[in-house]
């Protein structure tokens, strides 16, 4: 069946989650943080994801903004930077303005020219996602921004993936789902989507019952898959 709808995870897939820490470090090159920003970005992202999984398993849902703050606070304390309130506020501000990866605007534009429906499906809360989309100037290239907040549970719960069919009245086989998270691409494959894992870091495949159909090093491969 022909793909009619291409759906993207947001954080780490369209938007560079390390950008907030990297930009904050550039603003204060002589600060202690400038030496530690890559590690902080790594811990922040890891805890952010872990907290979504734990909250989904235990039924203790909250919005993604709280999870993002919790992950940052853990990372700052782990690196003994938790006394710097100004740094914390700046990092959180920058997270609302994350940079898109360089290939994203043209890739989305190309998909629209092919008549493909395009959307985001993310753990992010609606206001966070809309802020990132507007900051990156992607509004004209997306038909929908779908947030888990309407389901009350984080990915990879199947009710989150249901949002795509509900929004576009399409079958699972008409959807190409793209994520930089191997577990997300795998779970979406198990759900029934055609999937692409964007493996920018050259990581090994997750040991899960399902595997993504395609693996790409960046998003430039997406248009070729649909032509």
Task: Give me the domains of the chain, ranges plus CATH numbers.
Answer: 5-15+99-225 (3.40.50.1000), 19-95 (1.10.150.240)
Write out residues in the chain with pLDDT < 70, as ranges.
Answer: none
Give pTM, 2 decimals: 0.95
pLDDT of residue 101: 97
DSSP state of 139: G
pLDDT of residue 227: 85
pLDDT of residue 193: 98
pLDDT of residue 1: 73
Active site residues: 9
- Residue ranges in the chain assigned as alpha helix (H): 19-27, 32-58, 64-78, 85-95, 104-113, 126-136, 158-168, 182-191, 221-225
Q: How far apart are CA 147 and CA 109, in angstroms?
A: 22
CB atoms within 10 A of CB 219: 23
Q: How far apart are CA 194 and CA 226, in angstroms?
A: 11
pLDDT of residue 182: 97
Q: Which residues contact 171 (CB under 8 A, 6 or more apart)?
A: 1, 165
CB atoms within 10 A of CB 5: 23
* Cβ–Cβ under 8 Å, residues 6 and 111: yes
């Amino acid at each position: 069946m022909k793909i009619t709808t291409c759906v993207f995870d947001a954080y780490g897939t369209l938007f560079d989650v390390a950008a907030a820490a990297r930009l904050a470090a550039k603003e204060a090159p002589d600060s202690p943080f400038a030496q530690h920003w890559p590690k902080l970005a790594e811990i922040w992202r890891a805890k952010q994801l872990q907290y979504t999984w734990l909250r989904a398993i235990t039924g203790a849902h909250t919005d993604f903004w709280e999870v993002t703050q919790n992950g940052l606070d853990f990372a700052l304390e782990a690196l003994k930077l938790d006394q710097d309130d100004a740094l914390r506020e700046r990092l959180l501000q920058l997270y609302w303005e994350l940079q898109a990866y360089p290939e994203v605007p043209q890739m989305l534009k190309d998909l629209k020219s092919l008549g493909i429906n395009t959307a985001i499906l993310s753990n992010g809360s609606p206001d966070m996602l809309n802020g990132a989309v507007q900051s990156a100037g992607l509004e004209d290239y997306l038909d929908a921004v779908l947030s888990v907040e309407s389901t009350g549970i984080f990915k990879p719960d199947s009710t989150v993936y249901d949002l795509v069919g509900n929004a576009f009245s399409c079958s699972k086989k008409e959807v190409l789902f793209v994520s930089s998270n191997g577990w997300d691409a795998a779970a979406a494959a198990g759900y029934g989507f055609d999937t692409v894992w964007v493996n920018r870091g050259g990581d090994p495949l997750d040991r899960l019952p399902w595997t993504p159909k395609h693996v790409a090093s960046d998003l430039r491969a997406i248009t070729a898959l649909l032509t």
